[in-house]
Chains A and B, each alone.
Chain A
Amino acid sequence: MAAGSALVLTSALLAGCGDDSDELTLNLYTAADGAEQYAAAAVDCTNAANGRYVIRHHMLPRQADDQRLQLARRIVGGDTALDIVGLDVTWTAEFAEAGWVEPLPDEVADRVRNGTLEGPLKTATWEDRLYAAPLNTNTQLLWYRKDLVPNGEPPDTWDELITIAEDLADQRRPSWIEVQANQYEGITVWFNTLLTSAGGKIVDDDGETVTLDQGDAARRALEIMARVGRAKGADPSLSQRDEGSARLAMESGRAVFQVNYPFVLPGIAENGGGAFLDDNGNPTNSDTGRRVQDEFAWAPFPGMEEGKPATVTIGGFNLAVPTTSKHPTEAFEAIECLRNRENQLRNAVEAGVPPTLAELYDDPAFQEEYPAWEAIKSSLENAGVRPASPAYQSISIVLSADLSPPSGIDPDSDVEKLTSRVRDAVNSEGLVP
């Protein structure tokens, strides 16, 4: 590791040598998705700085695990070449507790809080301090087929949803329910949404007390997951589904429901509208003039009980300043620019990620790009967040290992098992699978 950080340091020094000595360079590291937009924002904010600093954009890997690994390794190794980093919303507690990112200075924090949606703010907060500035967010909706649900009305609850799907299976019509059920972060997100919608929580706000087994919320969440997994006419590949394959399964015409992020809406149009449908709503190879896209609609994420909206787990990225940065003052200034109204709008319109500034949702440009903006906004206002804990990654790994496949869940005995596994993870004891 010493050798590794020495290498990194050397290359940073070499990179520094190449620069104009008067020029102050801020290195911005973001995920590879949406990199074009982040790079454009870097150019705009460099211009806005009037020559005081230059923001240079760099790409991190596409996979969240690889991004986290690179950032953590470089910061632990004392790499001074990182000035602004894009953090996945689940990493805040970990990076803050480990001393890898600086808390926002008070006046910056005040300005960031002003006008930012509550849910995204929560994902950037650890022990009442703001460690990052919410750049964009993400939330899931229920996507459904109008031609398959009774009266074209989407279900409000999971109970109703499963009943509709099973009825469709009896009629030999498309009956798959698409969720993210593969053994990865996605199934943890699904579980967390169900759990918080039922009034439960994986860990308490301190990030240490495991509250998974309090009340019956966990058992109810597990019941729904097991029922979706074992439903009559369920997708046989359910336990392999992630966001991308769930979306494709729906486009193939065999699914009636999917819970997924807003990208599926522009996606289905890009893919030519999905499969052709026959009179029964089943996919067919012949050109009937009617495609999945024509029946494709969205609704709020189903809740656990009638009249109580779901608290959907939110995703997204926040911007933070590593403790190793040599120019924190300029970096914080640049962060405010990088997440300003123009840049968030550009990210939304060009890269499809929902912004974190509340007022943008009233902007016609955004509304046009996001036909589902109202559902997204209300979903964000009811947002559920994933457990804020420095050990979040371990929690997620053990949960996803035990929850997948959903058809194997035993709601009666699994709550206890999950609770003890999460407790080990929180205390960083034992192994992760």
Chain B
Amino acid sequence: MTTLAPAPPPAPPPTGKRTLTAEKKAERKLAFLLCAPAVLVMVAVTAYPIGYAVWLSLQRYDLRFPNDREFVGLDNYTAVLTDNYWWTALAVTVALTVISVAIELVLGFALALLMHRTIVARNTVRTVLLIPYGIVTVAGAFSWYYAWTPGTGYLANLLPEGEAPLTEQIPALGIVILAEVWKTTPFMALLLLAGLALVPDDLLRAAQVDGAGAWTRLVRVIIPMMKPAILVALLFRTLDAFRIFDNIYVLTRGNNDTGSVSILGYDNLFKAFNLGIGSAISVLIFLCVALIAFLFVKGFGTAAPGTDSEAKR
């Protein structure tokens, strides 16, 4: 029988394979050609400035003393990393990031649930919740600034006489966090709402039939199903929060030890015109941001934007 069986179909002739490869090659070539403009643009707008910043950070280069420009290797990094201003700014930035993102996650989740479940005036509720996110950060920051300034501010006037919260480190940082949370919680809620929409209603109903209460459904069904969405939301917000600039710039200008690393970089670049030191700070910020992204993607298995989270499993 077996002998009579027709011979297995011959493997595709090598020539055929070669044709396919040639086709693939041509296709790949076309793909490269089609991508090339985008790659060029990316190099021009992203890689070049980053590379230039790295190059500047290795030089003593102060615009005010153009004749003293020279290559100094890692001296600028040593100067930054041994300076108290840098570590204060980093501590402030990390504290702001952790606290504000934690509050935003909890609040944002609550708002997302609210938006998801609202039956009455659904669109209105969603629109109203999104208003703070639609306001220009600087404009919002100014209204917080005036609100907390004694004399002009309705919030400052609630405090006991003699309090000027924006001039003290801890109260000022509290106000910065408040402004951040107010401003970006809607963004968090929006991302989480998209995640909530992915939780199938059937699954929830099945859980309910099995006797799971609201809390159990939330912890056992909704949150595990939403993990990718939550991690992406956290990644985005953490990266954003770490680079905080505008709220601090308006509220305190970084005075009284409230400056973030971005404020420190700005001041050294644009007030002191010290391109070397300022670039070194920028590169360090870039490394911190890269580290955060790496931890999220590799450590927690966050799907990087643009990749298919299913494909990774």
> Which residues of A does B touch, CB under 8 Å?
1, 65, 69, 72, 76, 94, 97-99, 182-184, 236-237, 239-240, 245, 248-249, 252, 390-391, 393-394, 397, 401, 404-405, 428-433
Minimal Cβ-Cβ distance residue in B for A76:
B63
Q: List 5 A-B contacts (CB under 8 A).
A: A97-B64, A429-B79, A430-B83, A431-B80, A431-B83
Q: Is B195 an interface residue (CB 8 A)?
A: no
Whole-angstrom CA separation of A86 from B87 in the bound complex: 38
Minimal Cβ-Cβ distance residue in B for A391:
B64
Q: Is B264 an interface residue (CB 8 A)?
A: yes
Q: Is B253 an interface residue (CB 8 A)?
A: yes
Given contacts A236-B150, A240-B149, contact A432 B64 (CB under 8 A): no
> How does the 8 Å CB contact mask read for B33-67 relative to A, with 1 for contact and 0 for none?
00000000000000000001000000000111110
User: How far in angstroms is the closest Cβ of chain B from A175?
Assistant: 13
Q: Is B296 an interface residue (CB 8 A)?
A: no
Chain B residues within an 8 Å CB radius of A65: 270-271
User: How far in angstroms is the closest Cβ of chain B from A143?
Assistant: 18
Given contacts A99-B66, A404-B256, contact A432 B272 (CB under 8 A): yes
Chain B residues within an 8 Å CB radius of A240: 149-150, 164, 166-167
Contact (Cβ within 8 A) B267 A184: no
Chain A residues within an 8 Å CB radius of B254: 433
Chain A residues within an 8 Å CB radius of B259: 433
Q: 9 tightest A-B contacts by CB?
A: A236-B162, A183-B255, A239-B167, A237-B164, A432-B272, A237-B150, A428-B62, A431-B85, A98-B64
Which single member of B149, B164, B255, B267 contacts A432 (CB below 8 Å)? B267
A236-B162, A433-B259 are known contacts; what are 6 more A-B pairs with Cβ within 8 Å?
A94-B64, A97-B65, A98-B63, A182-B255, A393-B273, A401-B255
Q: Is B274 an interface residue (CB 8 A)?
A: yes
Q: Is B27 an interface residue (CB 8 A)?
A: no
Chain A residues within an 8 Å CB radius of B281: 431
Minimal Cβ-Cβ distance residue in A for B254:
A433
Chain A residues within an 8 Å CB radius of B151: 237, 245, 248-249, 252
Q: Is B240 an interface residue (CB 8 A)?
A: no
Which single member of B63, B79, B167 contacts A405 (CB below 8 Å)? B167
Q: Which of B277-305 contact A (CB under 8 A)?
A: 277, 281
Whole-angstrom CA separation of A116 from B26 in the bound complex: 78
Whole-angstrom CA separation of A182 from B163 in the bound complex: 15
Given contacts A236-B150, A433-B267, contact A390 B256 (CB under 8 A): no
Given contacts A393-B271, A432-B268, contact A236 B86 (CB under 8 A): no
User: How far in angstroms is the closest Cβ of chain A from B20?
Assistant: 44
Contact (Cβ within 8 A) A428 B256: no
Whole-angstrom CA separation of A99 from B63 in the bound complex: 10
Q: Is B161 an interface residue (CB 8 A)?
A: yes
Chain B residues within an 8 Å CB radius of A405: 167, 256
Chain B residues within an 8 Å CB radius of A239: 164, 167
Contact (Cβ within 8 A) A428 B162: no
User: How far in angstroms is the closest Cβ of chain B from A82?
Assistant: 16
Whole-angstrom CA separation of A369 from B140 in the bound complex: 40
Chain B residues within an 8 Å CB radius of A397: 267, 271-272
Whole-angstrom CA separation of A69 from B85 in the bound complex: 22
User: How far in angstroms is the closest Cβ of chain B from A196?
Assistant: 24
Residue from B83, B264, B272 whose CB has the most chain A CB atoms within 10 Å: B272
Chain A residues within an 8 Å CB radius of B274: 394, 428, 432
Whole-angstrom CA separation of A428 from B65 in the bound complex: 9
Chain A residues within an 8 Å CB radius of B270: 65, 69
Given contacts A98-B64, A183-B253, contact A432 B271 (CB under 8 A): yes
Chain A residues within an 8 Å CB radius of B149: 237, 240
Whole-angstrom CA separation of A49 from B215 in the bound complex: 83
Chain B residues within an 8 Å CB radius of A236: 150, 161-164
Minimal Cβ-Cβ distance residue in A for B270:
A69
Chain B residues within an 8 Å CB radius of A249: 151
User: How far in angstroms is the closest Cβ of chain B from A8?
Assistant: 16
Q: Which of B97-151 contact A (CB under 8 A)?
A: 149-151
Residue from A98, A248, A432 whose CB has the most chain B CB atoms within 10 Å: A432
Given contacts A72-B63, A430-B79, A431-B277, contact A394 B167 (CB under 8 A): no
Contact (Cβ within 8 A) B273 A72: yes
Whole-angstrom CA separation of A99 from B267 in the bound complex: 22
> How does the 8 Å CB contact mask read for B161-179 relative to A, with 1 for contact and 0 for none?
1111011000000000000
Minimal Cβ-Cβ distance residue in A for B159:
A236
User: How far in angstroms is the closest Cβ of chain A from B261?
Assistant: 11
